[in-house]
Amino acid sequence: MDEYLAGLTTEGINDKTQMIDECSTEQMLLLMNEQDAKVPAAVAAEIPNIVKAVDTLHATLRNGGRMFYIGAGSSGRIGVLDASECPPTFGTDPLLVQGYIAGGDIALRLAVEGSEDNEEEGIALIEEIGVTDKDAVVGITASGSAKFVIAALRRAREIGAATIGVVNNKESRLAPVCDICIAPVVGPEVIMGSTRLKAGTAQKLVLNMLTTCTMVKLGKTYNNLMVDLKASNIKLYDRSVRIIKAATGVDDETAIPYLESASMNCKLAIMMIKTGLDAGEAAKALEQCEGSLKAAIRSYSQVV
């Protein structure tokens, strides 16, 4: 028996749920809800480390680097999910934030047995995706023992990339290969070892923080408005119009023509309305302010 695995919090038996198989449906749900309520506090305890991670990621992306999520099993799927949401939410290039899972894309749907234990594949992935010393790699593993993830982070660190770990146990095997280790400990799962539950929820909350706060610092929002989205479908078109109205105070009859003249670029439309600039001038002003709408508006106001 592996003494490391046996001693993990995520492998413990939860004494609160030992008789779950004798509970009514309502009792089971209440037990799960009670355990899930412990997750936010565990994440809150890691805020100091999350701050360091966000600041590192911001510096990385601002200086032309990329962000990579690498995980195995449920952890890998959560990383791929978070990465895939960045382009529609923040208008980013799909290559800016990327997610990879042990076993390849097929593992998103089907378990690929043994893939998380393959160190060679972890190293090969870092080489294949071309990680450089300008990039940041975030490794995700609830147990902190997935050899695929550990080997990938170790290789990324050798290259000079920033390395960040998201794990659900303290003093894990992952920690030594991380510049920053985020470890929300949520306690034993409702079902022993099923880390898709509390551990997975904690990971999702942490990853939400990493990308959202990094993108806010990169100027991807105006106040709390999602101004960098592209109106690529009916829902996003409608949202774009509402965002333009909220940011500028104009009505539909004004917002819609501006959105269309800005080639469905919500941020650009707002800049045009706020400043009176045409699309080309507004785009240039935004570029000069590194894409920050608020900074661009303030800069223009000072000039005029």
Enzyme catalytic residues: 85, 116
For the chain, the helix, strand and coil percentages under 3-state DSSP, each to the nearest 5: 55, 10, 35
Nearest-CA neighbor of 136 among 77, 68, 187, 206? 68
Rounded-to-integer distance, Cα 262 and Cα 247, Å? 16
d(CA 197, CA 35): 10
Residue 26's contacts (CB-CB under 8 Å, 6 or more residues apart) are: none
Beta-sheet strands, E only, within the chain: 67-71, 97-101, 136-140, 162-166, 180-182
Q: Measuring CA to CA, which residue among 36, 113, 42 is closest to residue 72?
A: 113
For 102, the token pair is: 């042990």
Instruction: Give the C-alpha separation, 135 to 123, whole Å.
Output: 16
113-117 own/partner pairs: CB under 8 Å, 24+ apart:
115/72, 115/148, 116/72, 116/73, 116/141, 116/146, 116/147, 116/148, 116/149, 117/146, 117/147, 117/148
**Residue 160: strand pairing partners:** none
Q: Where are the alpha helices (DSSP H) in 69-140?
A: 73-90, 119-128
Which residues are within 8 A (CB) of 130 and not within 5 positions of it... i.e. 6 or more apart?
A: none
